[in-house]
Structure 1
């Protein structure tokens, strides 16, 4: 299907496949991309100014220069603990998790200094602080309790999947819920303690093994074997990235409260 000489300004594209599409002489000014896969995208003759990109960036070549290593080096400089978030052995996994728990303690302490109502407010269309914590409960339930520990239905009513995930029977998604910080932290402490206990006795052999597929009940993640080490790495990455998002948004909320 071709769109030539048409004005699609303000259009919304959700769960649309654009793989292999060609954009030529197209204005994308003020366009927002969320949850988008852009692997192997080629851009030529592009004008880019005031562009904000945040996500997992591998090889990214700009005007012939691979900027990926520069981005990695700068992120590690800004966040010295970041290098610990790619562990390769059991002690490294345990250290990474202990570091995350310590950092989250500081972030939660910041949040407690704000009006509790602000913790339900979105910043630039992102999840609120409370919703971020609810999503991390969901991530732990999905990957640790379901995939690794074999619980077919580990969900709590406050679990919050990512926005682009299709509604799945049995998995809650109550965006209208407004639990208190303490209510969500009770869940968080329980889930984080579960990960800590898992890592306390984990071995190199276990990290190198695959998980045992849960029964195929149509839930999520799909009932298949996953590399156990990669599953735990995924949770570590979720915790690390979402804490940075939370800190960024807390900065905005502090300014909002003071204005």
Structure 2
């Protein structure tokens, strides 16, 4: 069995020479300032927050960002948000895009909606995570509710399971698609209510709660929190479009 290293800083500052990482998986890892020299990088698949990424001394980040914007023009709209009207228009776009994506998923068998592709979150798990993201960044921060978390929400990978349990979240739950979509519909309606009543003044209002216990205590405006919700919506839909294509091909 291949070795597994979880929650370790054992390799900080390490040097690897003539080592093989063939077929290795790095998930939720801090890989800043890594230098790879004279190595074989063939059939490599990488995703994450990519900046200043040099390949053979060429920064490929602008090429990657431009191609993602071409494939998903909502990313450009997201970055351009400034006013309350911009946020409302962005949520209109998100609702429209997810409506089409959900329709695609619902043409698949129920089992496929629970199926992981390359060990990434399934469609159902992704919806569960967006429930949590809305609870954290809209209900708790913007609406100032201390414990708004739905039992079927799904925290991000690095969030401690004991902390999730303290929020009333059941990470081991295996809910039906119908149960998850019911929770998801309520959260989308909640954001719709927020953006419908949004003003430019409200965008600047400071929120007093962190999104969940363990998050940094730092100033966050309503606009900042809504932007996180919408970024989560756009990025996770992008992943789902990718994985649905594979599930449909099967």
TM-score, length basis structure 2: 0.89
Give distance in 2, aligned partners of 1:16 and 1:173: 25
Is residue 197 of structure 2 the alignment partner of residue 201 of structure 1? yes
Superposed CA RMSD in Å reads 2.2
Q: 1:153 to 1:44 in 2, by over 3 A?
A: same
Aligned-residue offset at 1:158? 0.6
Q: 1:175 to 1:118 in 2, by over 3 A?
A: farther
Q: 1:79 to 1:224 in 2, by over 3 A?
A: closer
Counterpart pick for 2:125 among 131, 135, 144: 131
Aligned length: 246
Counterpart pick for 1:190 among 186, 193, 216: 186
Q: 1:207 to 1:44 in 2, by over 3 A?
A: farther
2:29 corresponds to which residue? 36
Counterpart pick for 2:84 among 66, 86, 90: 90
Counterpart pick for 1:67 among 60, 64, 68: 60
List, as ranges, runs of 4+ consecutive aligned residues in structure 1 with deviation greater than 6 Å. none
String of CA shifts for 1:48-77, please: whole Å, max 9, x gaps: 111111122122111121111111111111
Aligned-residue offset at 1:125? 0.9
Task: Give ranges in structure 2 of 5+ residues lacking alignment.
Answer: none
CA contact (8 A) 1:134 1:159 kept: yes
Give distance in 2, aligned partners of 1:117 and 1:27: 36
SS in 2 for 1:148: coil
1:180 corresponds to which residue? 176
Aligned-residue offset at 1:224? 4.8
Aligned-residue offset at 1:207? 2.7
TM-score, length basis structure 1: 0.86
Give distance in 2, aligned partners of 1:221 and 1:19: 23
Give distance in 2, aligned partners of 1:209 and 1:61: 39
Aligned-residue offset at 1:172? 4.0
Give distance in 1, aligned partners of 2:190 and 2:122: 24
Counterpart pick for 2:112 among 94, 115, 118: 118
Larger deviation, residues 103-112 vs 78-87: 78-87
CA contact (8 A) 1:142 1:220 kept: no
